[in-house]
């Protein structure tokens, strides 16, 4: 076993689904497991989320949905944005539910559904761009696209949805304006066809902080992994549990004299004699190289110790001072550790704050070189 690994607390995933499910009821929860479940492992997370009460799954790419189907998962799987037309046949073959936001997308899905062997119409979802300007149809096209969908016997309109650009800042006026535009579009399509589509707006931040955005279901992403969507939502995340921790073991120690440097460029020199521990994990594993210059720390024996010198591709160095440290000692980079003074923890949000980014990027950036295993295994 390599001396660097991540642990996934599946009980925390189930707990977080349950916390949000209770908070948003009677709205349902669909679990977002794109990007390999934000680095946590899509198949295992999907199974746990469904068992905890999620009613469907959301992914970004066709291949992500195919992976879940090949693992035997039969729950509804929503593709969150319109996919290339040449993937429509695969969407149908694996019983995925595509998003459409153009007439071309409707045509591609209809043709693939007619050619498929499924006994029921293909369920498609219409995404509207109400202000984020990333993906989705202009709301003025909603009427025409819904008409195009309902005109196809091979298709069924399953839902209409949008995505908020500033849900992590609940007080931002843009949220109310996007919801207003969305509701206006819904009124424009009311009565088209015979089936009433489901409506959804909320991601994790909106699900927790904007009750008016909780419609038929919410799309539970980052909060399912116990990471706050943003600082303005922190208080609403107090009952969530982080699901991922990142660990390594000390691979070497050495005494380094005062005024000596460490790592590439010798960009860090020591003011006093010290012990430096080498840890076999680096930027190729998802520890950002720039963390060394922004106060990055690790836990060894429950004590915070500073990362020193440039983080290299496969290794980083830690200033241990007079802390007793030996080869094989556990190092916690993200997560908690118990020491003589009690328990301390370094959350993913701490890395994000040091680097001027968000917790999403931190956990998604942990590479495939790092083995994920269930916590306490």
What is the tens place of the pLDDT at every residue in 316-338?
999 999 989 999 999 999 999 99
* Cis preceding-peptide flag for 39 (omega within 30 of 0): no
* CA distance from start to end of the chain: 13
Instruction: Give 193's Cβ-side CA count (13 Å radius).
Output: 21
| Predicted pLDDT of residue 72 | 98
pLDDT confidence bin for 377, thresholds 50/70/90: low
Looking at the chain, the domain(s) classified CATH 3.20.20.10 span: 10-231
Question: pLDDT for 9-18, tens place per residue?
Answer: 999 999 999 9
DSSP state of 197: P
Show Cβ contacts of residue 149 under 8 Å, excluding neighbours closer than 6 positions: 100, 106, 124, 126, 155, 156, 157, 193
pLDDT digits (tens, 9 = 90+) for 93-124: 999 999 999 999 999 999 999 998 888 999 99
Rounded to the nearest 10 degrees, how much is the dihedral formed by the CA atoms of 324, 277, 357, 35? -110
Tokens read off for 38: 């934000």
- pLDDT of res. 71: 98
Beta bridge partners of 79: 59
Q: Which stretches of 244-329 are assigned E, i.e. beta strand?
A: 244-249, 252-256, 261-262, 268-269, 274-279, 297-300, 303-308, 316-321
Domain made up of 244-374: CATH architecture: Beta Barrel (2.40)
Whole-number pLDDT of residue 91: 98
Cα 126 off chain centre by = 22
- Structure confidence at residue 194 (pLDDT): 67
pLDDT tens across 342-359, in order? 899 999 999 999 999 999
Q: DSSP letter for 222, please.
A: G
Structure-model confidence comparison of residues 58 and 193, the more confident one: 58
**What's residue 29's pLDDT?**
98
* Active-site residue (options: 70, 225, 264, 360): 264
Tokens coding 17: 């689904």
pLDDT tens for 26-61 read 999 999 999 999 999 999 999 999 999 999 999 999
Question: Taking the CB of residue 346, how many other CB atoms lie within 10 A of it?
Answer: 20
Q: Which of 227, 204, 185 has the alpha carbon at shortest distance from 58?
A: 204
Return residue ranges of the chain for CATH 2.40.37.10.
244-374
Could you give the count of Cα atoms lying within 13 Å of 271 in the half-sphere of its Cβ? 0
Asked about 70 being catalytic, the answer comes back as: no
- Four-point Cα dihedral 88, 92, 96, 101, nearest 10: 40
pLDDT winner (highest mean) among 114-118, 212-216, 232-236: 212-216
Q: Are 220 and 22 in contact (CB under 8 A)?
A: no
Are the CB atoms for 8 and 243 separated by under 8 Å? yes
Q: How many helices (H) and strands (E) does the chain have?
A: 11, 20
Is 225 catalytic? The answer is: no
Per-residue pLDDT at 164: 98
Q: Which CATH number fits domain 10-231: 3.20.20.10, 3.40.50.460, 3.30.470.30, 3.40.309.10?
A: 3.20.20.10
The mean per-residue pLDDT over the stretch 279-290 comes to 97
Q: What is the pLDDT of residue 375?
A: 92
Handedness of CA 357, 363, 364, 367 (dihedral sign): positive
Catalytic: which of 34, 127, 283, 360?
Answer: 34
- For the cut 70, the answer to whether the pLDDT of residue 293 exceeds it is yes
Q: Mean of the per-residue pLDDT values for the chain? A: 96
> What is the rounded distance in angstroms from the CA atom of residue 165 to the CA atom of residue 132?
5
pLDDT tens figures, 126-158: 999 999 999 999 999 999 999 999 999 999 999
pTM: 0.95
**φ/ψ (deg, to 5) at 288:** -55, 135
């Amino acid at each position: 076993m390599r001396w660097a690994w991540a642990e996934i607390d599946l009980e925390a995933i189930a707990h977080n689904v349950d916390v949000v499910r209770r908070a948003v009821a009677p709205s349902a929860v669909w679990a977002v497991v794109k990007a390999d479940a934000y680095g946590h492992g899509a198949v295992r997370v999907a199974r746990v989320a469904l068992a905890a009460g999620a009613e469907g799954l959301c992914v970004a790419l066709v291949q992500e949905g195919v992976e879940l189907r090949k693992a035997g998962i039969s729950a509804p799987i929503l593709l969150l944005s319109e996919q290339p037309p040449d993937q429509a046949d695969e969407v149908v073959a694996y019983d995925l539910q595509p998003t459409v936001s153009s007439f071309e997308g409707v045509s591609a899905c209809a043709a693939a559904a007619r050619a498929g062997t499924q006994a029921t119409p293909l369920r498609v979802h219409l995404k509207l761009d109400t202000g984020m300007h990333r993906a989705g149809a202009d709301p003025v096209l909603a009427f025409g696209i819904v008409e195009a969908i309902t005109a196809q016997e091979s298709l069924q309109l399953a839902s209409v949805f949008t995505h908020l650009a500033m849900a992590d800042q609940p007080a931002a006026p843009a949220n109310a304006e996007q919801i207003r535009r969305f509701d206006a579009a819904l009124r424009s399509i009311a009565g088209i066809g015979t089936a009433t589509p489901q409506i959804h707006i909320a991601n994790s931040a909106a699900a927790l902080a904007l009750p008016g955005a909780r419609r038929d279901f919410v799309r539970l992403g980052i909060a399912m992994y116990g990471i706050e969507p943003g600082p303005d939502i922190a208080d609403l995340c107090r009952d969530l549990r982080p699901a991922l921790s990142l660990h390594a073991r000390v691979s070497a120690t050495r005494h380094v004299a005062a005024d000596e440097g460490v790592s590439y460029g010798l960009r860090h020199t020591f003011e006093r004699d010290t012990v430096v521990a080498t840890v076999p994990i680096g930027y190729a594993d998802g520890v950002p190289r720039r963390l060394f210059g922004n106060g990055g720390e690790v836990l060894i024996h429950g004590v915070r110790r500073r990362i020193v010198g440039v983080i290299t591709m496969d290794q980083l160095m830690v200033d241990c001072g007079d802390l007793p440290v030996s080869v094989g000692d556990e190092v916690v980079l993200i997560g908690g550790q118990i020491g003589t003074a009690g328990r301390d923890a370094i959350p993913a949000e701490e890395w994000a704050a040091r680097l001027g980014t968000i917790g999403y990027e931190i956990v998604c950036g942990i590479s495939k070189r790092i083995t994920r295993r269930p916590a306490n295994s």
